[in-house]
Structure 1
Amino acid sequence: MTSMNAYVNGGIADIANIGLCDVALEKAMERTSSLPGMVCLYGPSGFGKSVAATYVANRRRAYYVQAKSVWTKRHTLTAILAEMGMRPASTIPQMLDQAAQELAMSGRPLIVDEMDHLVEKNAVELIRDLYEASQSPILMIGEEELPNKLKKWERFHGRVLSWVPAQPVTLADARKLVPLYAGEVDIADDMLTHLVELSGGSVRRVVVNLEMIQDTALTSGWESVTRDVWGKAALYTGEAPKRRL
């Protein structure tokens, strides 16, 4: 396995979940013929799963689709074929054959983000059909309860090689995010630790607070920010503000 640089594509920090996502797909791509080829990265919203999936799709030359809440089976296949640069056939079975053939012939994996939407639309077997017909690696990205939701489909659940839980943001992750979102000021480790503690594991909340800290620091003329410098100023926690009476 090759290591990734700290900053890639001019704007993505190499946080832990990018590595987890990449390793998960790599396992499916390098599996032996006797092992199943679907893998799943799951976790709470805000943990950076979609960012990780986008990066890994580029790195591994994977076809990538992000499911929508309104998608039907036809919409799903149409989106996959569009990602492949193919014109959809007229029927769903024909579209399935098109997509499966392209996966098999290209040797490229498929990443399905927001897989929970397909579960809610009872389109899970569509993904299994694509896998069975192509034997191509498929990485699914979803929310924390996705593995439990998929237990309803035993034949599908048994074809998942690896279930990979996304990890909460860490101090090491926060340090890597600073140059991208607060590169004009120095933010001390005690302040970064505070941001991680407030984040509830969410990369997104850390990013929002880094941008807020930089804006405040530049406006206030601070070159560096520690907990003492920041004091009791507000930070973003994702909670709605309390009503003032």
Structure 2
Amino acid sequence: MTQSSQTNNTLAPLRNVLAFRTMLQRLDDRSAGLAGMGCFYGPAGFGKTMASIYCANQRGACLVQCESTWTVKTLCHVILEELGIKPARTTPEMSRQIQQALAMENIPLIVDEADFLVTKKSVEILRDIYEKSGVPVILVGEEALPAKLRRWERIHSRMLERVAAEPLDDEDFGHLKRIRCGDIELSGELEAAIKTASRGSARLMVNNLDTARQRARVLGKDRLALSDMGSVRMHDGTAPELRRFG
């Protein structure tokens, strides 16, 4: 496989992947004495998780995605499982295991859906891990995450980078189209409709491109126009209207 085709089939060129990778590199290369925490934030669907997974794999970082039911103990347990370490019995012991493992191998920690930790007032554990390990710790969450973190001054003051995920642009659309619909030609009118419906959301854009690919398969076409979509509804992030019967 050529270098060009490798690039076309990865998420590397997407603007939010590049932004996340640049932030992680900045934290990795920071000068002595600088804080080492970061925050990557933005609306749902902008590709934050996609970017964090890609960059975690490239850098060899430890990535965990929080859930609404998690406690601090659950978080520590999952991080240790991700690191391949048998968790100790208590939360303080597990925290020390994490700190030592991350520091020893210089492994950054990326915590997705960090809003759940903030809501449960459990986010201080991440500062503990950062302080004792010295590795970059990045929190990934929704648009309001940086504002929410102001309540925790000891975390807020340790943020070296706060990077906002941006809406996908035309270049991002072209790259995703090559990945998702590389064997199908889309008319300019259909491409414009997909961009409008997607509103810069990576999730909606991928859904709409996949819908177009499936429609082309059903029709047996390798070129698709907007009129070919018929009654197929574009993903635009809105719920269907309430139906009324009788």
Matched, 1:129 2:128: yes
In the other structure, the counterpart of 2:200 is 201
Q: Tell me the amino acid that sits aligned with residue 36 of structure 1.
A: A
In the other structure, the counterpart of 1:183 is 182
Cα pair 2:8 2:178 within 8 Å, conserved: no
In the other structure, the counterpart of 1:173 is 172
Q: Tell me the amino acid that sits aligned with residue 170 of structure 2.
A: L
- Separation in 2, partners of 1:190, 1:124: 47
Q: 3-state SS of the aligned residue for 1:27?
A: helix
Percent of aligned pairs with the same residue? 38
Q: Tell me the amino acid that sits aligned with residue 85 of structure 1.
A: G
Matched, 1:110 2:109: yes
- Separation in 1, partners of 2:167, 2:210: 19
How far is 1:135 from its partner? 1.0
Matched, 1:60 2:59: yes
In the other structure, the counterpart of 1:159 is 158
Cα pair 1:113 1:141 within 8 Å, conserved: yes
Q: Tell me the amino acid that sits aligned with residue 139 of structure 2.
A: M
Pairing 1:134-149 to 2, within 5 Å after superposition: 134-149=133-148
Total equivalences in the alignment: 242
Question: How high is the TM-score relative to the length of structure 2?
Answer: 0.90
Pairing 1:13-92 to 2, within 5 Å after superposition: 14-92=13-91
User: CA RMSD of the aligned region, Å?
Assistant: 2.2
- Separation in 2, partners of 1:7, 1:188: 25
Cα pair 1:5 1:14 within 8 Å, conserved: no
How far is 1:170 from its partner? 1.4
Cα pair 1:13 1:177 within 8 Å, conserved: no
Q: Tell me the amino acid that sits aligned with residue 217 of structure 1.
A: A
Cα pair 1:169 1:196 within 8 Å, conserved: no
- Separation in 2, partners of 1:188, 1:176: 16
Q: 3-state SS of the aligned residue for 2:151?
A: coil
Shift in alpha-carbon separation, 1:137–1:179, aligned structure 2, 3 A: same
Q: 3-state SS of the aligned residue for 1:151?
A: helix
In the other structure, the counterpart of 1:97 is 96
How far is 1:141 from its partner? 0.7
**5+ residue gaps, structure 1:** none
**5+ residue gaps, structure 2:** none
How far is 1:136 from its partner? 0.7
